[in-house]
Amino acid sequence: MTDFKGDFVMNMLKMYRKHFIAVIALFLCLMIPAAAGAAMHDEGGGADQRPVQAFDVVQGKVVKSVPNSPEFQGYAKSWLNGVTGLSPKLSADDKCGYVFRIPLDQPTAVKAGNAQVMTQDVFLFYCPKKPQLLLVFDENRKPYLLTFKGNIKPFLKAMDL
């Protein structure tokens, strides 16, 4: 299933390194429906069974997938509660870090600037020595890049990367 999409995404990553956020958003938009459908089909369950995934930016692929749990749900929801606003811009280094995807067990409201949106997934952008950011998509797949206050160290420890 990832043959065409995976190759396409890898080529996009190589060609558009300067447009890092656009490439990551494209990757997420292409892979979220496939991953959600695969999880529901393979496991016969709902949204709470979709795994937490770590995407290594340098390698350009998902490097770890772990079962979702109430612990991961708690981390994601605490970050959403700690949102401080919309990020003015993403100036991430395209040679470091991870993007973590935490599927939520149910749609959750988050305040994004002046708007309140419902999201089903939380994406944590993590690069050492850079501000941590969250990316959420509303029901129309519009992306919102958010700043937040929260401790991500317990999450990183639980992911064991």
* Structural contact between residues 126 and 100, judged by C-beta atoms closer than 8 angstroms: yes
Residue-wise pLDDT tens digits, 121-160 = 999 999 888 888 999 999 999 999 999 999 999 999 999 9
Give the side-chain half-sphere CA count within 13 A for 102.
26
Residue-wise pLDDT tens digits, 76-110 = 999 999 999 998 865 555 677 999 999 999 999 99
For residue 23, count CB atoms less than 10 angstroms from its CB and return exposed for 0-12, middle for 13-18, buried for 19 or more. buried
Number of domains in the chain: 1
Domain hosting residue 100, numbered range: 2-159
Confidence (pTM): 0.72
Asked if the model's pLDDT at residue 16 lies above 50, the reply is: no
* Structural contact between residues 82 and 155, judged by C-beta atoms closer than 8 angstroms: no
